[in-house]
Structure 1
């Protein structure tokens, strides 16, 4: 794969994010960073260093919809924008979608026993939404689709960290662009998000994520270009390590269940002051571990006065 990594700054705790310029029959940018001035300048500089201008980019392909990856699609008005159909909701930000999003999260957070003042703080996503691009997708990709202009580069749906997540695998080399599926230094957080069809039950993100990691583990990938940090080559042992650590975290949550029985209280017990700084992320992590415990038969849950209560099985 003729690929060049462009490192972009972000305002998030994760730090820098990677975009990738891939040369083929089409000049393609994979991911585009957050919609900030420093990220734009780094993106333009990285493209220029490869002998191109922003106008030369023919298509932008998104690994997923999160704003640190999908912001600067607006910098390429002449290019096609490709990704999962779920990305389009976040780009368009229609009044109906934003209302659905708020209703979904408010109901979910109430079931988690989160205090009302914290719910209001979590739902105030104005700054985050400003970091998204606003261009609708010109083409939706599906699992197994080949990326236009790159014969043999295939999209694989790998949900969990996001409901829109793809990795892109070049079949003849085994190289892949992996987004945030598997990162070298840190575990990706399986985030609570509305379902792809915008109806029905909440997706169980951690269970999806574990399935996606196992799918990755079965693939013959020689090098995974990641959304943050350096590329990963020892993929199978790293996946095994991450799955083991996740199981161990879930067992710790099971122990805490002796004193705490809802998502909010368990999150406060697990994360302490980190919850105050990152309530959405920490609640997602705790809920994911509880989904895992229920799915594996270690715990069960029931609704009591509008709050989901968890107990050992």
Structure 2
């Protein structure tokens, strides 16, 4: 049994989905943002299925973003389970948060972002207010069986988040997919700090493309996704998304015809109307396209006074 609970969020993405899954354990996959409205929606959704908060045995996170990782606190009898990266956020560890700020400040400087936008680093931590105050009781990784749900396999599907997991039932050809494949939009491959500060920045778009391709190659009939309706006809949808990404990369490549550009300069051209309001999202998108072009050898990267520049190869 999979029962969908639709939960309002204060974010531009709109409502988020949580899924009640009945197996050997009664589990809730994702838990909405930590707002009063989300709490009431969860309460209603559980009641419709004949349950209360105290009946849930496991809260399983697809990823750590606040629209998915809020109301774990409401399930005091449940174990919280997810990818280890979730805990970097959930623990609110001061050392991690300081590293987080240094990582994003370094990114903004390398991207050639003007000084007046550098305070944006503080905004990157806003989601903490809508995340739960619990940490993981158990971690999951690639190839694990989903606890309490025989036949369900855990797959890492990084890119949109460095904590992202999907859950795959091969026999029924059903996937609970978080934000990897959504019905109406392609997820933004967000730039996030690596778990190990000594590692290089994750190439989020390349990860995301690989996750999409992997799901494309599975015999999936239906994906229960984190936002919107369930997704079917998965293969042509993913092919279309990957083709559109290549088109955007080609557009970014063309922007370098008149000389080398910084990430910030490319972002203002790609997103002239929204880059100031959504600086983090738009920079992430541009970095993704540049990472893709670097991986194909069609552009070159150079550094000057701590700022990275990109030009056609």
- TM-score class normalised by the smaller sequence: over 0.9
Q: CA deviation at 1:78?
A: 1.8
CA distance in 1, matches of 2:160, 2:88: 17
In 1, are the aligned partners of 2:101 and 2:121 still within 8 Å (CA)? no
In 2, are the aligned partners of 1:20 and 1:31 still within 8 Å (CA)? yes
In 2, are the aligned partners of 1:206 and 1:292 still within 8 Å (CA)? yes
The 3 A distance-change label for structure 1 pair 122 and 99 is closer
Residues 123-168 of structure 1: per-residue CA shift (max 9 Å, x gap): 3345321011121100110101111110011110010000010110
Counterpart for residue 250 of structure 1: 249
The 3 A distance-change label for structure 1 pair 126 and 161 is closer
2:192 is equivalent to residue 193 of structure 1: yes
Counterpart for residue 268 of structure 2: 268
Counterpart for residue 75 of structure 1: 74
Superposed counterparts of 1:112-261, under 5 Å: 112-259=111-258, 261=261
Superposed counterparts of 1:58-69, under 5 Å: 58-69=57-68
Counterpart for residue 290 of structure 1: 290
SS of the residue 1:190 aligns to? coil
2:290 is equivalent to residue 279 of structure 1: no
In 2, are the aligned partners of 1:105 and 1:123 still within 8 Å (CA)? no
By percentage of residues, which structure has more helix? Answer: 1
CA distance in 1, matches of 2:77, 2:47: 17
2:17 is equivalent to residue 25 of structure 1: no
Residues 275-306 of structure 1: per-residue CA shift (max 9 Å, x gap): 11111000000000000001011111011110
Q: How many residues align?
A: 312
SS of the residue 2:70 aligns to? helix
Deviating beyond 2 angstroms after TM superposition, the runs of 4 or more aligned structure 1 residues are 121-127, 196-199
TM-score, normalization by structure 1: 0.98
CA distance in 2, matches of 1:228, 1:21: 15
Gaps in structure 1 of 5+ consecutive residues: none
Counterpart for residue 306 of structure 1: 306
Q: CA deviation at 1:172?
A: 1.2
CA distance in 2, matches of 1:121, 1:308: 19
CA distance in 1, matches of 2:208, 2:170: 22
CA distance in 2, matches of 1:29, 1:197: 29
SS of the residue 1:251 aligns to? helix
The 3 A distance-change label for structure 1 pair 292 and 126 is closer
CA distance in 1, matches of 2:216, 2:283: 27
CA distance in 1, matches of 2:306, 2:192: 20
In 1, are the aligned partners of 2:9 and 2:16 still within 8 Å (CA)? yes
Gaps in structure 2 of 5+ consecutive residues: none
SS of the residue 2:159 aligns to? coil
CA distance in 2, matches of 1:67, 1:202: 22
CA distance in 1, matches of 2:295, 2:6: 38
Counterpart for residue 110 of structure 2: 111
Q: CA deviation at 1:201?
A: 0.6
CA distance in 2, matches of 1:78, 1:29: 12
SS of the residue 2:168 aligns to? strand
Q: CA deviation at 1:76?
A: 1.2
In 1, are the aligned partners of 2:65 and 2:127 still within 8 Å (CA)? no
In 2, are the aligned partners of 1:169 and 1:177 still within 8 Å (CA)? yes
In 2, are the aligned partners of 1:122 and 1:279 still within 8 Å (CA)? no
